A and B are shown apart, each in its own frame.
Chain A
Amino acid sequence: MARKPLELDEHPAFQERFWTLERWFWAGFALVVLAGLLGLLGGGGLFSRSTARAGASALDYPMVARWQSDVTLELDLAPEVTTITLPPSLTDVFDIERILPRPDEENPGPDGIALVFRTSSGGHVTLAVRATKPGPASWEIRLGTAELKIFTLVMP
């Protein structure tokens, strides 16, 4: 008795197309890993942070952050700067988790929350913050009277 033919739909053209697509995705996987190593997806790395300057003061901030993950804003203040103001544009994007050292005063106002460091004489202040929503975010921070405009991409 002759054997019956194999009942199987091979779809060779579809398979070839899919295998090619699969290889493109593998290249995509490699690019995602590379982007992660370079810091383009946040969480540290060469391109994840940048520095903005206002006179002798400087702010080291994340260019790319991740939603609901902690990041830090590192401030090096000029000796004459004793007040950092966090406008609503910043507090809308980030929850303030921790401020080190603690400010001597926290004064809420229409322009935002003013953090006053009476004992500051050109010190370093760290703000631990957490991004509250994903997407592109433009925010400001005032160091004394100088305002810095910053852009951070918050990854989902």
Chain B
Amino acid sequence: MEVVLRAIVVYLLLLLIFRMSGRRTMAQMTSFDLVMVLIVAETTQQALVGSDYSITGAILAITTLFSLDIGLSHLKRHVPNASKVLDGVPTILVREGKADEHALTRTRVELEEILEAARSTQGLSALDEIDFAILEVDGKISIVPRRRN
């Protein structure tokens, strides 16, 4: 029973911490972020199983985590607004070539990151070539190029 309760608490706490730390925190994945993910995983492991090193305990913890994940995906599908709260909503960062400074500040995204996404995904070289830049719920930046006449 203890392992199941530990898994539920750890899952919900991690969900809350990741959600509240902002979308960009884990999406950027610089080498330092990778180190952070490894440290979080290592730190969580102890809280998840405690002193129970049995295969049964590990299977129980893993099954609980997957069940929670499946449960939440059903919740997001069937409960209005659940997806909005759990995953967030996309944020428009650039509109018709103009950066939304307020949205950039609130989402902690640098203009340079948008230009980088524009270069790498669409081959665009300037901000005014972007129709929309959108920060998606997974933290990635989508670029919609302006139509050239």
Interface residues of A (CB under 8 A from B): 3, 6, 8-11, 14-15, 18-19, 21-22, 25-26, 29, 68, 156
Among candidates B17, B89, B131, residue contacting A11 with C-beta atoms closer than 8 Å: B89
* CB-defined contacts of B106 to chain A, threshold 8 Å: 15, 19
Expressed in whole angstroms, the minimum distance between the Cβ of A117 and any Cβ of chain B is 31
Expressed in whole angstroms, the minimum distance between the Cβ of A132 and any Cβ of chain B is 12
Docked pose: A6 CA to B147 CA in angstroms: 13
Interface of B is mostly: mixed
Given contacts A3-B147, A6-B132, A68-B51, contact A15 B91 (CB under 8 A): yes
Expressed in whole angstroms, the minimum distance between the Cβ of A71 and any Cβ of chain B is 16
* CB-defined contacts of A18 to chain B, threshold 8 Å: 88
Expressed in whole angstroms, the minimum distance between the Cβ of A139 and any Cβ of chain B is 22
**7 interchain pairs, CB-CB under 8 A:** A3-B147, A6-B92, A10-B89, A10-B91, A15-B89, A29-B21, A68-B51
Docked pose: A87 CA to B84 CA in angstroms: 53
Task: Give the size of the chain B interface in residues (CB under 8 angstroms).
Answer: 21
Q: Are the C-beta atoms of A25 and B20 separated by less than 8 Å?
A: yes
What is the number of contacts between chain A and chain B, taking CB atoms within 8 Å?
A: 38
Q: Does residue B144 face the partner (Cβ distance < 8 Å to A)? A: yes
Docked pose: A22 CA to B51 CA in angstroms: 34
Docked pose: A21 CA to B88 CA in angstroms: 13
* CB-defined contacts of B8 to chain A, threshold 8 Å: none
* CB-defined contacts of B84 to chain A, threshold 8 Å: 11, 14
* CB-defined contacts of B132 to chain A, threshold 8 Å: 6
Q: Does residue B50 face the partner (Cβ distance < 8 Å to A)? A: yes
Expressed in whole angstroms, the minimum distance between the Cβ of B30 and any Cβ of chain A is 20
Q: Are the C-beta atoms of A26 and B147 separated by less than 8 Å?
A: no
Docked pose: A25 CA to B19 CA in angstroms: 10
* CB-defined contacts of A10 to chain B, threshold 8 Å: 89-92
* CB-defined contacts of A25 to chain B, threshold 8 Å: 16, 20-21
Docked pose: A11 CA to B132 CA in angstroms: 16
